[in-house]
Amino acid sequence: MRVAISILLGLVIGIIGTVSVMNTLHERNPLPHAVMSVMAHHVGALHTAVRAQRCDAVQARQHLTRLLETQADISEAFPGVDQPFLDEAAKLHDKTQAALLAAPANCPALAAAVKPIDEVCQSCHQQYR
Ligand code: HEC
C-alpha cells in the first residue's frame, strides 16, 4: 500500500513538474529561446572547428567560456521548473567547466571535451523539449 502511494505521489509530482515546464514554455518569454540559441551558437562553433580540423585553443576557450556564462541564465529563463530540470542544468555546468579545465588544444581533445556537453543537451531535450 505504501509503495502504491509513493508511486502515485511520484507520478503526480512528475505531472505537475511537466505541466509547469510546459506552461513556462508557452508564455511569450523570449529568454528561453535566447539562452538556448546562444548556447547552440557556441557549441556549433566548436563542432564546426572539429569538422574543419581547425581547433584553436584560444577560440575553444572563448566559446566554452561563453557557453558557461550563458547557461548561468537557464534557471532564470525557466522559472518554476522541477528539480530534475535544475539537475540537468547543473550537470551541463559541470561538464562545461570540465571541458574548460581540460583546455583542449587539438581536435581530438576538443571533440572529447564537447561530447559530454552534447550528451547533457540531448538528455535534457529528450525530457523537456
Ligand atoms: C536543463 C535542460 C536543458 C539543457 C541542459 C539544454 N537545453 Fe536546450 N532546450 C531546453 C528546453 C526546455 C527547450 C525548449 C525551449 C522553448 O521551446 O522555449 C530547449 C530548446 C533548445 C533549442 C531551440 C531553441 C528555440 O527556441 O528555437 C536549442 C537550439 C537548444 N535548446 C540548444 C541547447 C544546447 C546547444 C544545449 C547544450 C549546450 C542545451 N540546449 C541544453 C532545455 C535544455
For the chain, the structural domain boundaries read 2-128
Q: Give the cell for residue 101.
A: 579545465
Q: Is 36 in the pocket of ligand 1 (CB under 6 A)?
A: yes
Output the tens digit of pLDDT for each of the chain's 129 residues: 776 656 555 665 565 566 566 665 556 799 999 999 999 999 999 999 999 999 999 999 999 999 999 999 999 999 999 999 999 999 999 999 999 999 999 999 999 999 999 999 999 999 999
Q: Is 64 in the pocket of ligand 1 (CB under 6 A)?
A: no
Residue in 37, 121, 128 to alter for ligand 1 test, most ligand atoms within 8 A of Cβ: 121
The dotted CATH code for 2-128 is 1.20.120
Q: CA-CA distance, 100 to 98, in Å (whole number)? A: 5
Q: Give the cell for residue 94.
A: 559541470
Residue 66 burial (C-beta neighbours within 10 Å; 0-12, 13-18, 19+): middle
